[in-house]
Structure 1
Amino acid sequence: MDSIAYVNGSFVPLSDAKVSILDRGFMFADGIYEVSAVLDGKLIDNASHLRRLKRSAAEISLELPQPLERIEQIQKELIARNKLKSGIIYLQVTRGADKGRDFPFPQGIRQTLIMFTAASDLINAPSAKSGIAAISVPDLRWARRDIKSVALLAQVLAKQAAASAGAGEAWMVEDGMITEGASSSVFILTHDDVLVTRQNGNEILPGCTRQALVRLAEEQRLRVEERTFSVAEALTAKEAFITNCAAFVQPVVSIDGKSIGDGRPGPIARRLREIYVDFARSTAV
């Protein structure tokens, strides 16, 4: 059965969902997006995602076509129409479609707002138990990675490199230091039991799951350091893991074919995943 998507005010079958070929998201990657997790039919940490959506829009002088409260209402209606219990909801806003192709912002056009859902078992993903391999790749992205832009070619190339190597994620490296995963935030656990993750800045996307996990880890009296670290340091770590809205906390057991620790998911990553799932379920809306 075809799922239902939302396109500029209408709920339509996903196979019928269309936007203009002159849409600036298609022509120029002139747009932003967000992805929120859905668990038990409810949105996880969605307020954080919507705040980031608003910030990303402001950073490129893009007016949101609906207030955040209405956007969340549409998300919930789309979840209900698709009877989605577990998975994700994707949201994208572009500057809209003009009558031609010109670089400056057009005037008097309507922004494009689309949403769709995808079902998946977020809790029982096999890789949450087995862990994933990661590879390191050069970070080829633009300078404003803090904006959740739809310009994702560098991430596509990184993900393809990971897939070709049989890995589950690519860790991007700039000036010898890991920035983040192609679609995730990166953590390592030192032998002093310190969680290390890169500090926020223009170099990385401020991950919503990362932010929640840092807070939850500190509540568990784990020490967290936000700083740069290299692949070499990651390879000497006790544990490593990634976070994002769909994977929650995902152990990483090797980088570039070299094991981290004993090559198995570590107890801290496993426990933090449990804590995050409890947080997600208790705060879902």
Structure 2
Amino acid sequence: MRAARRAWRRLEPVHAMIYFVPEATERYAALGLDAQTAYFASRAAAFGRASAEVVIATFYNFNPDVVRGALPGAWEKTSPERVLAGRAEAAAAALRRGGIDRLPGLAETVSLARRAAEAAGDHAQGRALFAAHAAQPWPDEPVLQLWWAQTLLREFRGDGHIAVLTAEGVTPIEALVLHAATGTLPKAFLTATRAWPAEQWDATAERLRGRGLLDGESLTPEGEAFRQAIEDRTDELALPAYTALGEDGCERLAELARPFGRAVVDGGLFNLAQPAPGVDPH
């Protein structure tokens, strides 16, 4: 399980950069979409003309009012097909700009990541966002195939994570407050991109303190254990994809993935200084 998690985490920047790069902003703007609307439309376009309610349910942790401000209005300006095409064009252009297409080991990395992503398709029941993406055709260009494989693996894991949160009775805003308390992403980033009112955030934090999960804005030992259990179960639910590779294949993918993820970060493609709504939904 640890090798599978390392493989996912190290390759994740190859997908996540699409929420930050100017190539995406430019293409969405040409379709008449501002950055916030484009995030919801681009990630939901695999559903077709997705409603706000579908996105609220499947994206999970965004203020519903913000989603309703973006959808279905986006589809009055453009079509899901044009958004998907623009997203892929932006991904290819950005990854080429970062030199990802020239790194050694691309073919083997694509092969392993694609095997895992395709294996995930045998376990799509209950994973709506993954299934919608998995129904789309695979791109032809190797660097885009790598991006698409990680996109599928990301949504597969994300759907499982939401299932765990729901089973544990963790509400969308509680998930965000607990996430902020880990310190892995700044609270200001999460509050700005998920757009929950400050009074709701504060009330949720107080409620979690009452449950013994927070001390101030930090996790208590009980909170750390609770959140770690959620992450562990999420990892378990992601395993059906990576089992197809076996332990050695997961280790190899984790090894190969490191320079690809690092190149995205070092190339400035994954920059939290220019926040977009969609990084790390977990």
Q: Shorter-chain TM-score category?
A: under 0.3
TM-score by length of 2: 0.25
Bigger share in strand:
1
Structure of higher CA gyration radius: 1
**Higher-RCO chain (CA-CA 8 Å, sequence separation at least 6):** 2
